[in-house]
């Protein structure tokens, strides 16, 4: 990007709806963690993948195993959560929904309850310190513009999924609106979503919003049909939903009829090789249909990106004008799990900033 373009994408107000906490840890924060734990012999190249590199999905998940060794205590979680929020704010993100699977580590005393409490404490501290997502143009919103989705890792099976849903429900009721939903993620090649349907239905019944990784790999048409019947409130990736890549017209019809937004992560998909190249990304298929698409980072630390870069990539690859980019960013507000009054405040913020930035 030239300097003028870089400034535009950085100043562009943005909404981030698909950001895994541990995958979003920057190299600078990783350096701090590695210095704290030199006995692990972890080097920077083990926790991030450069943009020009390509990895299999399995290799990508191996990177997360390394990161989990570095982030295994409440102290670590507080450090990385605050740093991630600060970095998104510095990148022009005005509303952020983080997601993470609560973990327990016996050696450090970390429990799933403490895990979630610590993420919420990081959000609270960022708000208190004035480094939560920029509130200067929000017309006096007193609530924090960071939200949290508790994640179910599909690899752990239905019993753990149900326990996680119970945790998410408890925190939804006591977090003052910070915990808003449930994420379904983890290695998409493991298990079948049908075993998780009772847990997901329970989450939906108790008022949690559902953001489900769906059709992330080929040959998941049956699972996708089942999960779309819930239906989810947002779709993560949706890479193989449409018929041109092995999906089906019936899947597309379900998504379109229910107007389910799709979280799009360009760099993540290309590096992880579920999409062959940027110009072959399924963003174009859905964007051309006028379907709600939200650009996201997925794992900005692991994939060496940020949301400004993702918008620039989409614009240069698919020939989007500055006005197109602005509209794409603003459309994301309606896809958030925020209550209506906050959506209205965000719309007002975008309108104010448009006069300053988009000239």
Helix, strand, coil % (nearest 5) of the chain? 55, 15, 35
Question: Kind and range of the H or E element at 98?
Answer: strand 93-100
* SS3 call for 269: helix
Distances (CA, A) of 315 to 68, 265, 326: 34, 14, 11
Active site residues: 216
- Closest-CA residue to 61 (of 77, 49, 75, 76): 49
- The neighbour count for residue 20, using CB atoms within 10 Å, is 25
Instruction: List the 234-237 sheet strands across, edge first.
Output: 14-20, 93-100, 146-153, 179-185, 209-214, 234-237, 262-264, 293-295
∠ CA 70-185-338, rounded to 5°:
100
Helices (H), the chain: 3-11, 27-36, 57-70, 74-90, 112-128, 157-174, 197-205, 221-228, 249-257, 266-271, 283-288, 307-318, 322-331, 340-357
Q: Is there a contact between 349 and 138 (Cβ–Cβ < 8 Å)?
A: yes
Distances (CA, A) of 313 to 63, 128, 320: 24, 34, 10
Which phi and psi (to 5°) does residue 230 adopt? -60, -55
Which phi and psi (to 5°) does residue 292 adopt? -65, 115
């Amino acid at each position: 990007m030239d300097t003028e373009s870089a400034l535009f994408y950085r100043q562009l107000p943005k909404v981030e709806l698909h950001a895994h906490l541990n995958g979003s840890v920057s190299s600078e924060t990783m350096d701090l963690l590695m210095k704290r734990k030199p006995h692990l012999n972890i080097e920077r190249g083990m926790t991030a993948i450069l943009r020009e590199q390509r990895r299999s999905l399995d290799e990508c998940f191996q990177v997360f195993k390394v990161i989990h060794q570095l982030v295994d205590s409440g102290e670590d979680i507080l450090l990385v959560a605050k740093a991630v929020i600060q970095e998104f704010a510095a990148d022009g993100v005005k509303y952020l929904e983080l997601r993470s699977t609560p973990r327990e580590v016996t050696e450090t005393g970390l429990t799933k309850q403490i895990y979630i409490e610590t993420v919420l404490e990081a959000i609270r501290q960022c708000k208190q310190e004035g480094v939560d997502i920029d509130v200067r143009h929000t017309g006096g919103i007193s609530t924090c513009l960071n939200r949290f989705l508790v994640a179910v890792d599909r690899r752990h099976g239905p019993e753990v999924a149900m326990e996680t849903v119970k945790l998410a429900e408890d925190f939804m009721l006591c977090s003052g609106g910070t915990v808003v939903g449930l994420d379904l993620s983890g290695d998409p090649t493991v298990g079948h979503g049908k075993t998780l349907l009772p847990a997901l239905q329970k989450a939906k019944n108790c008022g949690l919003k559902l953001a489900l990784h769906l059709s992330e790999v080929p040959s998941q048409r049956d699972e996708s049909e089942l999960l779309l019947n819930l239906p989810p409130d947002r779709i993560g990736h949706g890479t193989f939903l449409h018929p041109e890549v092995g999906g089906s017209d019936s899947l597309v019809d379900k998504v379109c009829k229910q107007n389910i937004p799709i979280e799009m992560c360009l760099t993540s998909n290309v590096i992880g090789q579920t999409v062959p190249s940027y110009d072959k990304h399924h963003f174009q298929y859905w964007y051309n249909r006028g379907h709600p698409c939200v650009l996201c980072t997925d794992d900005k630390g692991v994939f060496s990106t940020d949301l400004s870069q993702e918008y620039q990539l989409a614009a240069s690859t698919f020939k989007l004008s500055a006005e197109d980019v602005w509209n794409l960013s603003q459309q994301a507000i309606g896809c958030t799990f925020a209550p209506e009054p906050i959506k209205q405040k965000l719309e007002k913020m975008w309108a104010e900033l448009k006069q300053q930035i988009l000239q």
